[in-house]
Chain A
Amino acid sequence: MLDAKIPSGPMDDKWTDYKGHCKLVNPANKRKLEVIIVGTGLAGASAAASLGEMGYKVKAFCFQDSPRRAHSIAAQGGINAAKNYQNDGDSVFRLFYDTIKGGDYRAREANVHRLAEVSANIIDQCVAQGVPFAREYGGLLSNRSFGGTQVQRTFYAAGQTGQQLLIGAYQALERQVALGNVTMYSRHEMLEVVKVDGKTTGIIARDLVSGKLERHFGHAVLLCTGGYGNVFYLSTNAMGSNVTAAWKAHKQGAAFANPCYTQIHPTCIPVSGDHQSKLTLMSESLRNDGRIWVPKKAGDPRKATDIPEEERDYYLERRYPAFGNLVPRDVASRAAKERCDAGYGVGTSKQAVYLDFAAAIERYGKIEVSKEGRTDVPKEEIIALGKEVVKEKYGNLFDMYEKITGENPYELPMRIYPAVHYTMGGLWVDYELQTTVKGLYSLGEANFSDHGANRLGASALMQGLADGYFVIPYTIGNYLADEIYNKPISTDHEAFAAAEKSVSDRLSTLMNIKGSQSVESFHKRLGKIMWEKCGMARNAQGLTEAISEIQALKKEFWSDVKIPGDISEFNPELDKAGRVADFIELGELMCKDALNRNESCGGHFREESQTEEGEALRHDDEYMYVAAWEYAGESNWNLHKEDLKYEVIKPSQRNYK
C-alpha cells in the first residue's frame, strides 16, 4: 500500500533529477485543470498563489473569515533556512542533518534533504514579496539561533514571523484572486472528499454562514488544513484548529501516519484555572536569552527574586552542558515535568518553572555601555539599557505575558510550563506529497512528512512554505499531466450526490441528538484523557485505559450532546460538534499508535523505554518505521509500515550533553 516514490540516485541529486524528469503541463492545458486547495495557512496560501500564477484554475477554502487569519499567523519565533549568512558553518547538509537528528531518526531522508535544499529559496521569495524580516544596521538580514542547533539560521520578524510570512503569502494569494486565477471561499468548511473510481474528484463543503452544503469538482485536492493539537483541548493552537478535513480523508482511504507524535512545547504560560480555553506560547527564541531554573529546595516558598543564585537549580545547564537551555523541545519539556513531578515546581499550581532574563538584561546592558565606551556606570543604568535591548528583541512576547498573567517579566522571571504545540503525525504522503488516495495531496502541518518524531523550532514555517511554494508546483504537474485527458466530472454525478447526502445525514443526526451536555464539555473531557494518558509520558496501562475511556466518551457524545440553534444558519456550536466528534475518533487512534510504539522517540515517551538517567530510549531494530494506519471501520485500523532507510546519516542515540 505504501510506495514513497523516492527517486533513485544520490541524496544530493534526487530533487534536481526529479524536477528534471517530472511531467509538465503546457500553459493552455493548465487553464483547463482545476485544483481545490483546502486551507489557506502558510502551506495552502503559498500553494494557491503559486498554482494560480502557473495558470491552474484554483478554488481555495478556509473556515475563518479571511485567509489572513489562519493559525500560521500566530507563529512567533522564526523560520529556518540554510543560507549560512552568518558564516558559522551552516549548509544544506547541516540543516538536513539537524532535522533528521532532531526528529530522532524517524523522518524520511529524501524529503528532509529536499526541504533543506529549498529552504534558501523561501527566504528569497519572502523578501521579494516584502516580508519585513529583521535586519542588521548594514541592511542585511539578521539571524538568531533556535533550540536543537548550534548555528544561527533562523530568520525572524520580531516575535511575529508567522504573521509576516502569512501576510506575504496571503497578499500573493489575493493578487491571484484579483486576477481571477483563484476563487476564494472563506467561512467554508470542507466536510467530505469525493472520489470516483478510487480517484479524488472534489469535495463537499459547508457554507458556514448559510449552512448550505456545496459540491466542488477538482482534478486534484490539496489538504493544507494544519495540525490536530486541539485533540488535547488545551494547546497553543488557535481555537478553530481541527482534524476534520484530514479525518474525512482518512475515512475515505488516506492512511494516517504516526498519529501519536505530538510536540509538547517547553515554554508556555501555565494553566491558571478550569476556565482556561487555550494556552499561550512564549517563543522558543526566549531560550536564547532566558535561563530556566527551579529552587534547589523542594516547595521553596520564597519569591523568585529572593532566592539567591546558589540556591537555584539551572537544571538544563546542569544536565545538558553542551546545549544548556537550547536542548530540543522534547528534552526541555520532559526535564520541566521531571522537576515539577519531583516537587520543585513554582507558582500557585506548582506546575511551572522559571524562565529568567535577569542575566541577559545585565549582559546586554554591559554591552551597550561598552559600545558607548563608558565606565563607572551605575548598575541601575546598565539594567535599564539592557531592558531596552531585550524589549527590542522580545517586546511583544513580554507584553503578551504581562497581559495574561498581570506580572512584569522585566522584573520577575516568567513562569512557564510545557503545553501541546504541534503534531508531527498527519496524513501519510509520498515524496510527491500525495496521500494513499489518488489525486489527494496534503501539505504543511496536516501531513506527516518531514519532522520525524520531533520537530525542531522554526522548521514548520519552513516546511509549510517549502511544500506550497517549491514542492507541489512540480509534483502536482506529474499527476495532472495525465488528467488533461479527463473532462471535469459534473457535480451532478452520483458520487457527489452520495457524499453530500452522507454529510447532510451526519449533520442532522448531530442536531437531533438533543441531549444534555455541551460540545465544549465533551471536548474538555477528551482533552483530559489525552493529556493524562497520551501526553508527555505514556505507558501501556494508561493507553489501554484511555482507549476504552474514549470509546465510552464517543458513545456518550453521540447520545447526549446538545447543539442549540439551527442547521441552516450560522451555527458555531454545530461546527464545533463535528470537529469534536472527529477529535474523539482521532484520540483513539493516537492512543493505539502510542501503544503500538513501545519505544521512546522524540516527542513520544514511553515510560517502559528509558535509560537509567531517564533519557528516551529508541529501539531502532523494532520501530524504525513510519506507522501508517488504514481505516477499517469503527475503532478498527490496519497498520502498514514504511521502513525508514538511512543512506546518508547514521542513526545514533541523540545526545545533547
Chain B
Amino acid sequence: MEHYNMNLNLKVWRQKNTKSKGEFKMYRVENISSEMSFLEMFDVLNEQLIHEGEEPVAFDHDCREGICGMCSMYINGKPHGPWQANTTCQLHMRAFKDGDTIVVEPWRANAFPVIKDLVVDRTSFDRIIQAGGYISVNTGNAVDGNALPINKDKADASFAAAMCIGCGACVAACKNSSAMLFLSAKVSHLALLPQGEPERHSRVINMVAQMDKEGFGSCTNTGACEATCPKEISISNIARLNQEYLVASLTAEK
C-alpha cells in the first residue's frame, strides 16, 4: 500500500447548541497522512483549533472500530462517507486526495435534534427499544441454553439483523427520515427466534407506534437506508416488519 500526505479544505457544520442556528465554516488541514482515520484527521483539526484559541468541533465517537454506533458524520452528502458498509470512524484518509474539499454535517432529522456541531440526540432510538425491543425474561428464569435447538439458518439470519449498531445513518440517508431499517432490524432479530415468539405481535405494534410518536417519517421504499447502512442490514427486514405488523394488526385482541 502506497502512503501519501495531503492538504484538505474542510467545510464543517458549526452549531453552538440545539437552539442556535448553525452555519458552515471553512478550515484547512495540512500534511494529513493517507494512513489516518477520518476521525484522526478531525483530531488534527481540533488540536489546531485549540491551539488557535477556537473551540474544537464537537463530534460523537467512542470505540473507533465500527461497533459502538456512536460516530455519525454526514460526509460529502453520505452518512459515514464514501465507503460501502463502513462507519465514519473506519473511514480512512486514503479515500481522499490532495486538494479535496470535504463537507461534513451532522445527521439531519427531526427526531435527532443537534446538540452541538456534529453531535445529535438519538435517544429516540432507546425509546423505540423501550416500547418492546426485548424478550421479557427476568434474570434467573432461563432454561438450559441447549434445551431449545434453533435452526442454524434462522439463528444466522437473526444474528445478521442483530448486527445493527443503532447509529442512525439509515435515518440520515432517508429523504423521509424514516427509522424503518433500524426498527425492522430489531423486530427481525427477535421475531426470527423462538424465544421472541410470545411477544411477537405486541412488540411490533408498540414499537411502530413509538417510532411514529418520535417524529420519524414513513417509508417509501427508496432503499437509501440499505445502501448506507454500515452493517449491511438488508431492506428485506422492512418487508418482514410490514408483514409482522399486518399479521399483528389482524390478530390484535386489544
Contact = CB atoms under 8 A, between A and B. Distances in A.
A482 interface: no
Contacts of B69: 68-69, 73
Interface in B111-159: 115-116, 119, 121-123, 125-126, 129-131, 133-146, 148-152, 155-156, 158-159
A548 to B, nearest CB: 27
Contact of A280 (B61, B65, B129, B134): B65
Interface stretch (B170-178, B187-195, B214-222, B236-244): B187-195
B67 A83 contact: no
A469 to B, nearest CB: 5
B200 to A, nearest CB: 12
A564 B55 contact: yes
B183 interface: no
A28 interface: no
Interface string B55-70: 1101011111111111
A524 to B, nearest CB: 10
A139 B159 contact: no
A25 to B, nearest CB: 16
A368 interface: no
Interface in A505-525: 518, 520-521
Contacts of B143: 124, 128
Contacts of B35: 272-273, 275
A403 B68 contact: no
B146 A64 contact: no
A611 B70 CA distance: 46
B166 interface: yes
B97 to A, nearest CB: 15
Interface string A21-53: 000000000000000000000000010011001
Nearest to B85: A399
A305 interface: no
Interface string B33-73: 10111011001100101110111101011111111111000
B184 interface: no
A349 to B, nearest CB: 11
A130 B163 contact: no
B82 interface: no
A273 B64 contact: no
B68 A130 contact: no
B228 interface: no
A15 to B, nearest CB: 15
A124 B146 CA distance: 8
Nearest to B151: A139
Given A65-B122, A141-B145, A562-B50, A277 B39 contact: yes
A8 interface: no
A648 interface: no
A121 B142 CA distance: 8
A158 B159 CA distance: 9
B193 A132 contact: yes
Nearest to B54: A564
B139 A49 contact: yes
A277 B43 contact: yes
Contacts of B11: none
Nearest to B68: A69
A564 B56 contact: yes
A2 interface: no
B131 A276 contact: no
B1 interface: yes
Interface in A222-250: 238-240
Contacts of A278: 64-65
B146 A66 contact: no
A275 B43 contact: yes
B62 A174 contact: no
Interface residues of A, number: 82
Residue from B35, B68, B155 whose CB has the most chain A CB atoms within 10 Å: B68
B94 interface: yes
A544 interface: no
Interface string A416-447: 00000000000000000000000000000000
A66 B141 contact: no
B86 interface: yes
Interface in A337-361: none
A470 B65 contact: no
A204 to B, nearest CB: 22
Contact of A160 (B134, B163, B166): B163
Contact of B196 (A130, A137, A239): A130
B17 A569 contact: yes
B205 interface: no
B125 A66 contact: yes
A265 B36 CA distance: 22
Contacts of B40: 275-277
A562 B46 CA distance: 13
Contacts of A124: 142-145
Contacts of A123: 145
A160 B143 CA distance: 24
A225 B62 CA distance: 15
Nearest to A172: B134
A50 B165 CA distance: 24
Contact of B62 (A171, A239, A473): A239
Contact of A178 (B43, B130, B149): B130
B149 A139 contact: yes
Interface in A64-103: 64-71, 73-74, 83, 85
Contacts of B130: 174-175, 177-178
Nearest to A403: B90
Contact of A74 (B53, B68, B85, B159): B68
A361 to B, nearest CB: 21
Nearest to B42: A277
Contact of B146 (A85, A275, A520, A562): A85
Contacts of A570: 17, 58, 115-116, 119
Contact of A135 (B119, B125, B142, B152): B152
B78 interface: no
A419 to B, nearest CB: 12
Contacts of B134: 129-130, 171-172, 174-175
Nearest to A465: B139
A473 B158 contact: no
A70 B62 CA distance: 9
Nearest to B129: A174
Nearest to B36: A275
B149 A138 contact: yes
A240 B116 CA distance: 18
Nearest to B136: A175
Contacts of B151: 139
B146 A163 contact: no
A140 interface: yes
B162 interface: yes
Nearest to A163: B67
Given A83-B145, A239-B61, A407 B92 contact: no
19 contacts: A53-B138, A74-B68, A121-B140, A127-B148, A128-B135, A129-B195, A138-B149, A139-B150, A163-B163, A174-B134, A177-B126, A275-B35, A403-B86, A404-B92, A470-B139, A518-B50, A565-B56, A569-B17, A572-B56
Given A66-B125, A174-B129, A273-B35, 13 more contacts: A50-B138, A65-B122, A124-B144, A133-B145, A139-B150, A140-B149, A160-B67, A174-B126, A275-B33, A278-B65, A399-B85, A564-B55, A570-B58
- The 3 A-B residue pairs with the shortest CB-CB distance, nearest first, are A139-B149, A171-B134, A128-B142
